[in-house]
Every structure is written in C-alpha cells, then in structure tokens.
Amino acid sequence: MPCGRWHAVIDMHSDILFDVVRQRDLGRRDVIRSDYGESFKKGGVTALVTAIYVDQALLPEQALRHALDQVAALLGEIDDAGGEIVLCRSAADLDRARASGALGTILAFEGVEPLHGDLNLLDVFHALGLRCLSLTHSRPNAAGEGAAYGMEDPRDSRGLTAFGEAVIDRAQRLRILIDLSHLNEGGFWEVLDRTSGPVILSHSNARALCPTLRNVTDRQIRAVAERGGVIGLNCVNGLVKDFDADLDDFVAQIEYVRNLAGGEHVGLGLDFSDRLFQYLSPAERKRLPPFAAVKGLEDHGRIPDLVAALKRRGWSDDAVDALLKDNFVRVFREVVG
C-alpha cells in the first residue's frame, strides 16, 4: 500500500444506487456500509455523486417509479447507517460530512427520463435532494440526444428539444449543477449558450486519446474550463484507451486533460460499473459495450495506487487534492451554495 499524506476523495459519478435498490428489494439493509465501506475507507472516499439511472427496459412507463425507488433506497441506507451516511444538499453539508467522518452523498439525474416531460417533477426531485443533472445517457430522450459510443452518428449535431431547453432553464433557477457527460456535441454547445456559470463533465475523457463520441474534444474541454467548471476523468477501460487499458493509461488521460484545462479544472468521475452489469436487461446489454475498470484501479480501494502514480510524475499534494476533491467542492459551492 502506498504511503504518505492521506487524501480525501469525492467521486463525481457513482452508479451505486443501481446496485443498492436491487439489494434492498431482496431484503438486505445497510448495503453501502457492508459491501462498499471497506473500499471507500481504503481509498479515502468522503463523498459520492450518486446517479439516478433507469435501465432501457423500464422506459418509458416505469422511469419515474424506478427513480423514486432509488431515492427511497438511499434514504433507507442513510437511516440504517445511523449518521455514517448523509444526504448533502449544499457544500456546507459536504463540509459537515467530512468533518464528522460520514460518507456524503449527492443525488444526480443521469438522464431526465423520470420527469416524463413534466417540468414540475424537477421541483419535486430538487425538494428530495437532487443537486446535479445530466439531460441524457447515451441514448435519445425527450430532452435531447445522447452521445454515441462509436465515432459516427448523424444525430451528434442535433440540439436540445424545447423540453430540454426548459429543463436547463429550470435547473439554473433551482441552482442544480448541470452535467454535460453523455450529451451529444450539438446539445453540449446549446447548453453552454443557454447557461451562465460553471458546468461539469462528471465522467468523460479526452477524445484525442480514445476516439469515441462519448468522450469530448479538446475544444469542449477548454470550454468547460473557461466557464470555471470541472472535468471528471472516467476510469472505464473502453473510454480511457481500449479494453486493455491500465492505470498508466488512465493517468495519461488525467494529465492530458489537466494540461489542456488547468489543474483547477480536473476531477475524478470514476464510474465503477463492473458489479452492475449483472442487473442489466438484455436490451441494455446489447446497447452498452462490455466495459470494465482499467487494470490497477478496479475499485475505490485502489485510489492510493493512483495517487502514488501521480506523485511519481511530480504531482504535489496540493495538486492531488485539487483533482481528488477540491475542484469539485469549489464548483458545487459556487453553483449549489
């Protein structure tokens, strides 16, 4: 185990609720602490952005119900944990969670399918604690077009729908942090034209190092940085380099984006999904590539190995802290409050 200064980590994208809701449906309780707690402790994880994501097979009719089931599952986990897991509605909540040693959780939409075209439901989810929002996964919905996993898609230049524009406008009024990961390039630029203040790419990599429309161009990276936002680097192998990608390849992605955007505009959106593939419907398995985490960073418990790799490349403790936590907290504080 690498040694040195301890570093706190905020993962900008976790699909943990996709697992937790199913485990709780089977009668289990306290899933996060039981199944993930040791890995979080080893990795220094102090907070997660917990995505609400709906499987393709549940669309459209069951999207709202499944989203609410995931919120209920998280609230149940918080009750089970007796203060060791908290829902963070503000940056002050994040600060208090870290000070108390609790795991902070931030609710986020990964696609707005649960809204069913009803903008008022966004107010309801905000009241429940939703503080981050991406319009799409890598598929079309009522708000816009998702970015494809290949390099050719005639829909990539399409913009937002009228509903997508309305969602962005309402999200800005509610001070919900807007996430551009998974959105196609046409939608990306329309969101930037329509908004002010920082936005994020919660779990996206540089297309220059791994050509897929799901990753982002140098121009997009610079645009997010110019708005004061953060790009969360994703350790999924097929988005880092190829399906044989390892920790060094992931570090190359981090350093490439850092060199383009600046050290104050990079973060981690690790997107550990290996455990979740067992739950995917046949339709979803057909739609998604067979992704896994890069070799050498298979779960949060391996984050100290990432830190050691960065320090071997000359990163200072302050630069590491900026990547692992501080940059996201700064943006979250500015946008959400």
* Residue closest to 140 by CA, chosen among 120, 161, 126: 161
∠ CA 137-66-166, rounded to 5°: 50
CB atoms < 10 A from the CB of 74, how many?
A: 24
The mean pLDDT value for 244-263 works out to: 99
Four-residue CA torsion sign, 269, 273, 275, 279: positive
Query: Is 50:103 a contact under the CB 8 Å cutoff?
Result: no
pLDDT of the residue at 273: 83
Q: Is the pLDDT of residue 5 over 90?
A: no
| 3 assigned to some structural domain | no
Q: Is the pLDDT of residue 3 over 70?
A: no
Residues 33-48 pLDDT 10s: 999 999 999 999 999 9
- Residue predicted with more confidence, 157 or 69: 69
The mean pLDDT value for 131-155 works out to: 95
Domain extent for 71: 9-335
Q: Is the peptide bond before 198 cis (omega within 30 degrees of 0)?
A: no
| 311 assigned to some structural domain | yes
Instruction: State the pTM of this model.
Output: 0.95
| 238 assigned to some structural domain | yes
Q: Is the pLDDT of residue 2 over 70?
A: no
| 2 assigned to some structural domain | no
| 129 assigned to some structural domain | yes
Query: Which range, of 168-177, 202-211, 268-277, averages the lowest pLDDT?
Result: 268-277
- DSSP 8-state assignment for residue 176: P
Q: How far apart are CA 124 and CA 174, in angstroms?
A: 11
Residues 225-243 pLDDT 10s: 999 999 999 999 999 999 9
pLDDT of the residue at 4: 59
Distances (CA, A) of 5 to 41, 93, 229, 320: 15, 24, 26, 10
Query: Is 15:271 a contact under the CB 8 Å cutoff?
Result: yes
| 122 assigned to some structural domain | yes
Q: Is the pLDDT of residue 150 over 70?
A: yes
Counting Cβ atoms within 10 Å, is residue 313 exposed (0-12), middle (13-18) or buried (19+)? exposed
Long-range contacts of 79-84 (CB under 8 A, 24+ apart): 80/29, 80/30, 80/33, 81/30, 81/32, 81/33, 84/33
Four-residue CA torsion sign, 35, 272, 227, 321: positive
pLDDT of the residue at 122: 99
Q: Is the pLDDT of residue 115 over 80?
A: yes
| 216 assigned to some structural domain | yes
Q: Is the pLDDT of residue 15 over 90?
A: yes
CATH number at residue 277: 3.20.20.140
| 68 assigned to some structural domain | yes
- Please give the structure tokens belonging to residue 190: 């329309």
Number of domains in the chain: 1
Residues 259-311 pLDDT 10s: 999 999 999 999 998 777 677 778 767 777 778 999 999 999 999 999 999 99
